[in-house]
Structure 1
Amino acid sequence: MPGPGPSAHQVLVYSGPGVSPLSLSHTILTLSLNLVPHYTVQRVSATLLAEEPWEPSCALLVIPGGRDLPFVEELSIKTKVTKRIAEYVSEGGRYLGVCAGAYFAASEVQFDIGGPKQVTGKRDLALFPGPCAGPTYPGFDYGSENGSRAVGLTLAGDKSLELLYYNGGGHFILPPSAGSDVKVLAQYQEPPTPEATVAVVQIAKGKGKVLLSGVHFEYPLEDPPARDAIAKLENPPAQEVIEEEEKKRTQWVAELLRGLGLTLPSDQVDPSGNLGNIEEDHIILHPTHPSPIFSFSHPKLPQLSASILSAPNIQAKLVKGPGDWETLRDGNDVIETGPVELLGSDIPAELMKRRRTKPEFPPVIEELSISDQAVPPQPPNFHALTKTLLVPGSTQYSPSWTPLFNMETYWEELDAVRKRQGRRTGVMRADELSPGKRGERAALGDLVLYAETITSTQTMIDRNPILLNGLPAPTVFTATYQLAGRGRGSNIWLSPTGCLQYSILLTLPQSMASKLVFIQYLAALAICEAVDEDGRLGVRIKWPNDVYANIEGVGGTEVGSGKKGLAKLAGILVNTNFVNGQWRVIVGCGINVLNALPTSSISQLHGLLTERAAREGSTRALPPPPTMEGTFARIMHAFETKWEQFLEDKGFESFMSEYHGRWLHSGQEVTLTTVEPHQRLRIMSITPDHGLLRCIPISTASSTVSSMYDRDMDQGGDDRTSTSSWARPSAQPQYVDLQPDGNSFDLMAGMIKRKV
């Protein structure tokens, strides 16, 4: 079997029988925080490892903590996948084993010899040439925290780490033949016996690298179970010591991953240019907890943010708490809300503290069990944590509250783009959906919810019906980081530094229900116009809900080669809910603005344009380099103007020419795989009635697509065929119209298949 290919980007974390749910969840989170967006971090089963060609795209294979014997049963005996893992490593792959994952990778396991939990025997993976023996410290008990403790490690160069979580891990016994292929990275500071010292090793195996650890370096020190293990110490350290050790732990994790040859995103990426004077930039750029949500509004409209929760349905559900805090228990989240002054006199200091300690993860004992799970374990449930929503009070906003997104800069950018287009700013507008248009609404972008770190802007609105029904429309929710971002279907990701993500709450009349599909097209047009007004950056629309770069210098092409590449820049998700006779629409977008390479971003496209201009000697003025605040402001303005036109026209017809000018697909030939035999199609357009992808068969002699379209009944829910009204009778070509929600468009392969 082959090793990793040159573009290997997947970090595969084994999640099958024997894996501890808690270890799995923290392993995924820790790897995501350090490796996204250069790599994708995802769970993998034994079946996939045995049956799929995963090696070429795998940059790192991980087996987290749990129990070694189920690993043997599943990976060595049932699927015999250990042979493939060993060959993958030998051919240049990487393996990370933590606790049980380290036992499993040794040539021999010596566990609790002479005790009731004794496990001994050879292991066929044998990435470490000697035994892994344990538990190093006494007291271990499966499914409990009885044997857990906080331990110290001695590192090379007289460095040390304190308070790392330990529970049943082993130590490595180096054979005389180990030689220089085995490098000791850490030793236990207080080993119970002289030979039980080696805690972490790195092994050179063929062309590959292996990292094995007896301690759980993936657990944050300020959350359970590490927090509880620290509390059991005879002399528990002060909070300041724990915070300093946590910072050292995260830095060491990054060093370990670099030692495996992985490329980490730059710690110096600065999304807004506001980090220069902040000492704790490492904590800010590596979030682990949802942060407070701020309610902001245009400086000329302070009443908007102050009254964001004033709707009767919200007020009826608010429960008075201590001080001036109130609590809202919604469908998905519990939210405490109050004026910003409740954080205390030093708001920046309190926010810095909360980045690592609040809200607290409760210790759920059943989740600490390492028994076999019938259902694959999930990442940490950030949704279960109480969120904080801060509304304006008497304290004036300071950019130090939001170091990754300067609201003062955003308002300036929003005012500037509106004035350039001859529109007033900071004023209420006529509400197109109110009776007689006599009501008022805010302009899009004038009322903003912002969180430095949140679960998902989309989920916070869509899954909380009280907020969904009561927040004013339009409201936009943006965040610098998402810990559980939502994409189409079941896609979940942790958003990387430099990604602009937001969700817009809108209202659409019931009469426009058949036009809901066009909202994703409007959002794509707004992004294109905002980030690439004159088209020189090569920003284009991929049907139905993505934005791509189509230009030299991306997707493996080079500037000056004459060949354009393709690279994804943005994705769009639209959720709809019918409430009180109207549609409540949430438009979610994620856009790569300042992401570090190799992720393509608007910033990269600007650099490519600058390079091309220099090569060609062009004197044409370049667009300004992108910023998070400026990009967000321009998108808000572009979407609002298009939304107003969409409501006035009651449809998308007036945007058809603009849309076709921005998209990638005119004349593209694709293969439709939802019929047998597969059919070759040529893309023509989207349909103005229901936004379907209109194609014509390349050979119309015998269409294999059965008619599924009744013009009197169709509401855009199915694919359809119809005879062209302009075709000659003898030819009788058919349109094949494909609906966006049931089809997956593989742009690179030129294939359309049924989405599952």
Structure 2
Amino acid sequence: MSDAVLMQLLQVLADGRYHSGEELGERLSMSRTAVWKQLKKLPELGVQLQSGRGQGYCLPGGLELFERARIIQEAAPWCGDLLLELVVDSTNARLMARPSALGSGAVCIAEQQTAGRGRRGRTWISPFGQNLYLSMLWQFEGGASALEGLSLAVGVCVAEVLESFGLADVQLKWPNDVLANDRKLAGVLLEMTGDPSGTCQVVVGVGVNWRMPEEAAQSIDQPWVDIARLAEEQGAQPVSRNALAGRLIASLSSMLEDFVAGGFSGWRQRWLHRAAFIGQLVELSTANRRCAGMLLGVDDAGALLLDVDGEPQRFYGGEVSLRSAS
């Protein structure tokens, strides 16, 4: 109930205008004291609240909160379950906790994550109401072997959705990153539960920097960019967060249906078309190996192809990092 009241308050303040305590009380059907208690929760979420004498309260710049109807409209013909949350530990964890109760295509989206995760146990910075944190559940037969190259196909979906909004020069860095001019724009995290050699459920997690606040980005340890900055740099139109979520859901569900039938091979050329560092000297490191070579591309299973001292070698997913040797 508390989350519902807080969401109602945010929906009123989302326009970025000043609203008096009296107006907020009337619109939320509660006393001004109760309104004040709810307002005090906003800074705890990392939401900047501004007050003005004789004016009331506002959220500078406003917020575009997620709206179920708008997302579903953009996501057509997808018609799965949509868990729309205010704050969660992580959207992946929320779906992983109940895979048997949700069917293929179930989606969880949150305004904020308190324990968002990237690859290799890294923290995924997840400020409230500013980015996109989205996970989709899908059932596979054939276990882990059926998932080869899946994270790359997810990257293609993210890139193509961003391109549909008029954004250009989106690149894919093997195996999980989406870049723009060598700056991280989005990331992918896959998690599996069930039988590793039979029927299993996979949660596809995607985090996209939509409008990253500078203060939240201070702990990011690599070059980054968000959609708002990228659109401004390229002279593109602003991107709606709801439209972004809906189009990504539609793209992922369509891709996953195709992937179950045909695997990564049909997505390979679309990945290569956007591949970062192709034809460049790169360094690759795993838990027990480090080497340098020319990046040739990927094979039909999504394995990285690297020319090491004139000999093509394959590298598979796992604890692998990749960066330009230059």
TM-score after normalising by structure 1: 0.34
Q: 1:348 matched to which residue of 2?
A: none
More moved, 478-487 vs 666-675: 666-675
Q: Is the Cα–Cα contact under 8 Å of residues 530 and 631 in structure 1 kept in the other structure?
A: yes
Distance 2:115 2:289 in 1: 40
Distance 1:267 1:541 in 2: 37
Distance 1:506 1:677 in 2: 33
For 1:485, what is the secondary structure of its paired residue? Answer: coil
One of 161, 173, 180 as aligned partner of 1:530 = 161
Q: Is the Cα–Cα contact under 8 Å of residues 48 and 59 in structure 2 kept in the other structure?
A: no
Q: Is the Cα–Cα contact under 8 Å of residues 506 and 584 in structure 1 kept in the other structure?
A: yes
For 2:126, what is the secondary structure of its paired residue? Answer: coil
Q: 2:281 matched to which residue of 1?
A: 669
Ranges in structure 2 where 5+ consecutive residues have no aligned partner: 1-30, 51-55, 218-223
- Superposed displacement of residue 412, structure 1: 3.0
Show CA shifts across 1:528-548 (max 9, x none).
Answer: 111113875221111110111
Distance 2:47 2:42 in 1: 14
- Superposed displacement of residue 243, structure 1: 7.3
Distance 1:412 1:668 in 2: 42
Letter in 1 for 2:116: G
Q: 1:692 to 1:636 in 2, by over 3 A?
A: same
Show CA shifts across 1:609-642 (max 9, x none).
Answer: 11xxxxxxxxxxx5x4211110011111222222
Aligned: 1:607 with 2:220:
no
Q: 2:122 matched to which residue of 1?
A: 491
Aligned: 1:741 with 2:287:
no
Q: 2:175 matched to which residue of 1?
A: 544
Q: 1:583 to 1:242 in 2, by over 3 A?
A: same
Q: 2:325 matched to which residue of 1?
A: 750
Letter in 2 for 1:652: F
User: Which structure has more RCO (C-alpha within 8 Å, separation ≥ 6)?
Assistant: 2
* Paired residues, number: 279
- Superposed displacement of residue 414, structure 1: 3.0
Letter in 2 for 1:451: E
Q: 2:23 matched to which residue of 1?
A: none
- Superposed displacement of residue 567, structure 1: 1.2
Q: Is the Cα–Cα contact under 8 Å of residues 132 and 241 in structure 2 kept in the other structure?
A: yes
Ranges in structure 1 where 5+ consecutive residues have no aligned partner: 1-238, 254-263, 269-277, 286-402, 416-424, 426-442, 551-565, 611-621, 701-733, 752-756
Q: 1:629 to 1:640 in 2, by over 3 A?
A: same
Aligned: 1:507 with 2:124:
no
Letter in 1 for 2:296: M
One of 174, 181, 202 as aligned partner of 1:585 = 202
Q: 1:515 to 1:248 in 2, by over 3 A?
A: closer
Aligned: 1:595 with 2:205:
no
Distance 2:73 2:284 in 1: 48
Distance 2:199 2:287 in 1: 37
Q: 2:264 matched to which residue of 1?
A: 652
Q: 1:405 matched to which residue of 2?
A: 66
Distance 1:458 1:692 in 2: 24
Q: 1:250 to 1:738 in 2, by over 3 A?
A: same
Q: 1:674 to 1:642 in 2, by over 3 A?
A: closer
One of 77, 88, 101 as aligned partner of 1:470 = 101
Letter in 2 for 1:448: L
Aligned: 1:573 with 2:204:
no
Q: Which aligned pairs between 1:262-301 and structure 2 lie closer than 5 A? A: 281=59
For 1:585, what is the secondary structure of its paired residue? Answer: strand
Q: Is the Cα–Cα contact under 8 Å of residues 481 and 494 in structure 1 kept in the other structure?
A: no
- Superposed displacement of residue 663, structure 1: 1.5
- Superposed displacement of residue 491, structure 1: 2.3
Letter in 2 for 1:477: C
Q: 1:409 to 1:461 in 2, by over 3 A?
A: closer
Q: 1:461 matched to which residue of 2?
A: 95
Q: Which aligned pairs between 1:286-365 and structure 2 lie closer than 5 A? A: none
Distance 1:507 1:593 in 2: 29
Q: Is the Cα–Cα contact under 8 Å of residues 151 and 188 in structure 2 kept in the other structure?
A: yes
Show CA shifts across 1:34-69 (max 9, x none).
Answer: xxxxxxxxxxxxxxxxxxxxxxxxxxxxxxxxxxxx
Distance 2:295 2:231 in 1: 30
Q: Is the Cα–Cα contact under 8 Å of residues 281 and 325 in structure 2 kept in the other structure?
A: yes
Distance 2:175 2:166 in 1: 20
Distance 2:319 2:259 in 1: 25
For 1:541, what is the secondary structure of its paired residue? Answer: strand
Distance 2:211 2:106 in 1: 24
Quick check: which has more Rg, 1 or 2?
A: 1
Q: Is the Cα–Cα contact under 8 Å of residues 286 and 321 in structure 2 kept in the other structure?
A: no
For 2:314, what is the secondary structure of its paired residue? Answer: strand
For 2:164, what is the secondary structure of its paired residue? Answer: coil
- Superposed displacement of residue 266, structure 1: 6.7
Q: Which aligned pairs between 1:31-50 and structure 2 lie closer than 5 A? A: none
Q: 2:254 matched to which residue of 1?
A: 641
Q: Is the Cα–Cα contact under 8 Å of residues 265 and 596 in structure 1 kept in the other structure?
A: no
Distance 2:240 2:250 in 1: 16
Structure with bigger helix share is: 2
Q: 1:113 matched to which residue of 2?
A: none
Q: 1:695 matched to which residue of 2?
A: 306
Q: What is the root-mean-square deviation of aligned Cα atoms in Å? A: 3.5
TM-score after normalising by structure 2: 0.74
Show CA shifts across 1:264-285 (max 9, x none).
Answer: 99769xxxxxxxxx95759x98
For 2:119, what is the secondary structure of its paired residue? Answer: coil
Distance 1:245 1:678 in 2: 54
Q: 1:484 to 1:526 in 2, by over 3 A?
A: same
For 2:277, what is the secondary structure of its paired residue? Answer: coil
Q: 1:630 to 1:680 in 2, by over 3 A?
A: same
Q: 1:244 to 1:525 in 2, by over 3 A?
A: same
